[in-house]
Amino acid sequence: MFDLLYAICDRLRRRSYAGNHGRIGEDMAHRFLRRQGCTVVARNYRARSGAGEIDLVVWHGPALAFVEVKTRSSDDHGPPDAAVDQEKRLALERTAREYSRRSGIEWEQTRFDIVSILLKKPIQIEWQRDAFR
């Protein structure tokens, strides 16, 4: 029942966000991670310091995962996760440290995940746990 509703919402969202692959991908990753047993606690978290943004913050078991979502319409220019370079990783880490400090979460309880989404038929979603440190 819910799968049908999600499918309808996806089609409507694609029309309203045509060309905004990032927003579509974040919606898909959000639902995908929830189906995998994660609890989403924040979406598009921005640090007060202006250090950056984290797409999704989720609890997965005992670990708090900071998730970067990368969405592409094709893999012609490489896989989506290849866009998470060293500069992006540093910005994510600064923002994640601020989040964990403000939330009182021990840094050892955290990890960084990447969800890669290819918007071709069929849609491909890959979740890399503990993608970098």
pLDDT of 20 > 80? The answer is no
Q: Where does residue 124 rank: exposed (0-12), middle (13-18), buried (19+ CB within 10 A)?
A: middle
Q: What total of structural domains would you count in the chain?
A: 1
pLDDT of 102 > 70? The answer is yes
pLDDT of 110 > 90? The answer is yes
The pLDDT, as a whole number, for residue 19 is 60
* Positive or negative: CA dihedral 122, 120, 81, 40: negative
Angle at 38 between CA 32 and CA 39, to 5 degrees: 115
The residue assigned the tokens 């309203």 is: 16
CATH of the domain at 90: 3.40.1350.10
pLDDT per position as a tens digit, 28-82:
999 999 999 999 999 999 988 777 899 999 999 999 999 999 999 888 888 888 8
Question: Can you read off the two tokens belonging to residue 34?
Answer: 């929830």
**Domain of residue 123, residue span:** 2-132
Question: Can you read off the two tokens belonging to residue 37?
Answer: 């047993």
